Structure 1
Amino acid sequence: MLPVLLLLFILIPVLELSLMIHVGGVIGTWNTVGLVIFTAVVGGSLVRSQGLETLHNVRAKLANGETPGKEIVEGMMLAIAGVFLVLPGFITDFIGLLFLTPITRAPIAAFMFKRMRVNMVNQGQFNQSGHNPFSSNGSGPNDHNTFEGDFERKSEEVKPEHRIDDKDNSER
């Protein structure tokens, strides 16, 4: 995994620089700089509007009692798109636009969500009995053995008249 990341951190900037130099030679340096700034500004405003729409969809699904899994993946993709659009370069702008446009974002999000669910099931994150390990409704297998409370250690000696004897406990 490390060699792949290292390759990406070296390869992508080199490709971005070579493409910007080529585009700068064709349309001019200042036009290239203006285009990079323009894509960052327009991309940022589009990410904001698409993010608000995705947030509205998440709230609607939650209000209906549904799990907004795909919408959360789309929200993560929008955040990644925002980062890619702010980074200078045309390759990252293209990837950012792929994640930003709803037509291309929806199938990518559906694929990623399906992969995430498959990985969670394979790693045992979902229990096959249907029991939700995060619920606190007392339906867990060991809930009858669970006690909640606070304790405090005191370093003081307990006076003999305040001690509990074993025979006092047996009489109760």
Structure 2
Amino acid sequence: MPVFVLVLVMLLAEIAVIVAVGQAIGALVTVLLLVAVSVVGIAMLRRQGMRTLTAFSDAVRNRRDPGPEMVDGMLLGVAAALVVFPGFVSDVLALLLLFPPTRAAVRRRVLRRAAARQAASPQIFVVDSEVVQPQRRDRPAPIVIESVREDRD
């Protein structure tokens, strides 16, 4: 229910802003401005999306934590949805998410919140084990090959 209320409030705000801008500068200019802002938003979305995808690939290739790049991708998805939503308020919010400095601030907040939630949740321990079948007398003993895991000391 809260999401529905948020979308309804956003829709009413968009209509109020479009009407106010239309009365101030004219209907045709308002429509052209809405189209122009959406085109600029889509162009920025494409550019920032490629940068984020490249950064994610580099993080995975270099075995770094790709969490920040994943959050950037999520924020760019939100920005894409806001660009598609017609109106000035959503376009301004989308453009804020498309600019790297403001997106970095939102990313830091999201990562801090995720770390706090993870710290509050119980830790899960996985014990690495191996199932050994009992030996039968009619078969020879199995050959055991030991492996070394790179992530363990």
What do residues 61-98 of structure 1 show as CA deviations (whole Å, max 9, x unaligned)?
A: 11211111011101110111111012111110111011
Q: 1:65 to 1:28 in 2, by over 3 A?
A: same
Residue 108 of structure 2 aligns with an amino acid whose one-letter code is: A
RCO greater where, 1 or 2, for CA within 8 Å and sep 6 or more? 2
Deviation, 1:113, is 1.3
Partner residue of 2:29 out of 21, 31, 39: 31
Contact 1:40–1:87 at 8 Å: present in 2 too?
A: no
Q: Does residue 144 in structure 1 map to residue 130 in structure 2?
A: yes
Contact 1:43–1:86 at 8 Å: present in 2 too?
A: no
Residue 27 of structure 2 aligns with an amino acid whose one-letter code is: T
Moved over 2 A (4+): 143-147
Matched residue of 1:144: which SS? Answer: coil
Q: 1:144 to 1:171 in 2, by over 3 A?
A: closer
Partner residue of 2:46 out of 39, 45, 48: 48
Percent identical: 29
What's the TM-score once normalised by structure 1's chain length?
A: 0.72
Q: 1:49 to 1:145 in 2, by over 3 A?
A: same
Cα RMSD, aligned residues only: 2.1
Task: Name the CA distance, whole Å, in 2 between partners of 1:85 and 1:69.
Answer: 24
Partner residue, 2:115: 117
Partner residue, 2:143: none
Q: 1:146 to 1:30 in 2, by over 3 A?
A: farther
Q: 1:146 to 1:40 in 2, by over 3 A?
A: farther
Q: Gaps spanning 5+ residues in structure 2: where?
A: 139-153
